[in-house]
Amino acid sequence: MSYLSVENLSINLGEFALKSLNLELDQGDYATIIGPTGSGKSILLECIIGFFTPEKGSIILEGRDIVNDLPEKRGIGIVYQDYALLPHLTVFQNIAYGLRKIKKNIIKGKVEDIAASLKIEHLLNRKPGTLSGGEQQRTALARSLVVNPRLLLMDEPFSALDPGTRKEIRQLLCDVIDKKCTTVIHVTHDMKDLWALADKAAILRQGKIIQCGAVRDVFERPVNKFVADFVGASFWEASVDAKSNGITNLKLGDFNIFSKDNAAQGEIVKVAVRPEEILLYNAPPDNLNGDNLFKTRVEKIKCEGDVWAVSVKIGDTKLLVNSTRNMMSGLYPKPGDTLYARIDTDHVRIVR
């Protein structure tokens, strides 16, 4: 039995809705929910914690349906982007807020322990208004984690922080979550949150989860064009031309591509390729070792910080490539140039 099972959850709030949504998590899972704005991500969290009562469906946590329980009876914590700290209380008092019913000496130990884990032990006597954004967010996380929630929900908690602070808090949070084996559902638009923290990813669209699974599976084997576009993969329909020596020969428009994935001759399949798994060259490289090699035409080039996003075409078929600055060194391509794209047969994934 799953630790958390959301079954056929439905609610209509006008602009936002969930439509027979299903989600299952095991204890200790860290799941990220990603999807377009307005797809229902925040509503899902607020139904799970009990701020909204669904019109249909169940939320089974540790074998019991909690859909009619009051929020404070569910043992679930939630962290928002805006921290929601009580300004008249100290950091210590904010963290201890959910521990009011236990002995003071136990409260002190618990607060100091979680504060040390999140590196805010030196701030315990300060008021929230004197803290930086990162310090306030760590305080909010400490307040939710100190009560050992059965489930921790997070709604874009790092979106207001600068990149350096986000990176630091991700690492601190990862360490605490691992230590406590906390089950987490984290809504985010930042793929760096997903890669740094999550072991599961769920793609939400128009109130339904389109795909859910291990992060690498979702990103490498998207189930449809929408998911592929959202996670940045190239995605095509192809037919199986032939099979030989463990290699599947796929007909894709006006060219063929080879994959180590298995498929039957004549079968119509979907093919996905991740942009970071494609290498670009000015001239055909030696020693291909059976890899795919395509002559391409550069369409667009865009610098995205540490990565160059390059759009190329093989005939009329578009291919997305993400290259590091180091990999782009010496290429200096511009639109209209010819480049050669190399794709390992291991990285051509057949999706059904």
Q: Does 193 reside within a domain?
A: yes
CA distance 312 to 266: 28
* pLDDT tens, position by position, 203-213: 999 999 999 99
Q: Which of 225, 127, 266, 117 is nearest to 177 (CA)?
A: 117
Task: Tell me the average pLDDT across 6-18.
Answer: 94
pLDDT of residue 71: 96
Amino acid symbol at 125:
N
Point out the domain boundary residue: 167, 186, 220.
Answer: 220
pLDDT of residue 144: 95
Q: At residue 103, does pLDDT exceed 90?
A: no
Q: What is the DSSP letter of 262?
A: -
Q: Does 301 reside within a domain?
A: yes
* pLDDT tens, position by position, 298-314: 999 998 888 899 999 99
Q: Does 227 reside within a domain?
A: no
* pLDDT tens, position by position, 85-94: 999 999 999 9
Task: Tell me the average pLDDT across 320-324.
Answer: 93
Please indicate, yes or no, whether residues 269 and 126 belong to a single structural domain of this protein: no
What's the whole-number average pLDDT of the chain? 94
Please indicate, yes or no, whether residues 184 and 83 belong to a single structural domain of this protein: yes
Parent domain of 178: 4-220
pLDDT-above-70 percentage for the chain? 100
pLDDT band per the 50, 70, 90 thresholds, residue 254 = confident
Task: Tell me the average pLDDT across 165-186.
Answer: 94
Q: Does 303 reside within a domain?
A: yes
Q: Does 295 reside within a domain?
A: yes
Please indicate, yes or no, whether residues 145 and 292 belong to a single structural domain of this protein: no
Please indicate, yes or no, whether residues 97 and 198 belong to a single structural domain of this protein: yes
Q: Are 276 and 322 in contact (CB under 8 A)?
A: yes
Q: Does 225 reside within a domain?
A: no
Please indicate, yes or no, whether residues 266 and 170 belong to a single structural domain of this protein: no
Taking CA 146 as the corner, what is the angle to CA 145 and CA 151, rounded to the nearest 5 degrees? 35
Q: How far is CA 20 from CA 61, 69, 204, 213, 256, in A?
A: 18, 20, 12, 18, 40
Q: At residue 329, does pLDDT exceed 80?
A: no
pTM value > 0.85: yes
Number of structural domains, the chain? 2
Point out the domain boundary residue: 200, 220, 240.
Answer: 220
pLDDT band per the 50, 70, 90 thresholds, residue 288 = confident
CA 161 to chain CA centroid, nearest Å: 18
Q: Are 65 and 58 in contact (CB under 8 A)?
A: yes
pLDDT band per the 50, 70, 90 thresholds, residue 67 = very high
Q: Are 237 and 230 in contact (CB under 8 A)?
A: no
The contacts of residue 276 (CB under 8 Å, 6+ apart) are 307, 322
CATH number of the domain bearing residue 322: 2.40.50.100
pLDDT band per the 50, 70, 90 thresholds, residue 15 = confident
Please indicate, yes or no, whether residues 208 and 182 belong to a single structural domain of this protein: yes
Point out the domain boundary residue: 175, 192, 220.
Answer: 220
Q: Does 226 reside within a domain?
A: no
Please indicate, yes or no, whether residues 60 and 178 belong to a single structural domain of this protein: yes
The contacts of residue 82 (CB under 8 Å, 6+ apart) are 160
Q: What are phi and psi of 25, to 5 degrees?
A: -135, 145
Please indicate, yes or no, whether residues 161 and 242 belong to a single structural domain of this protein: no
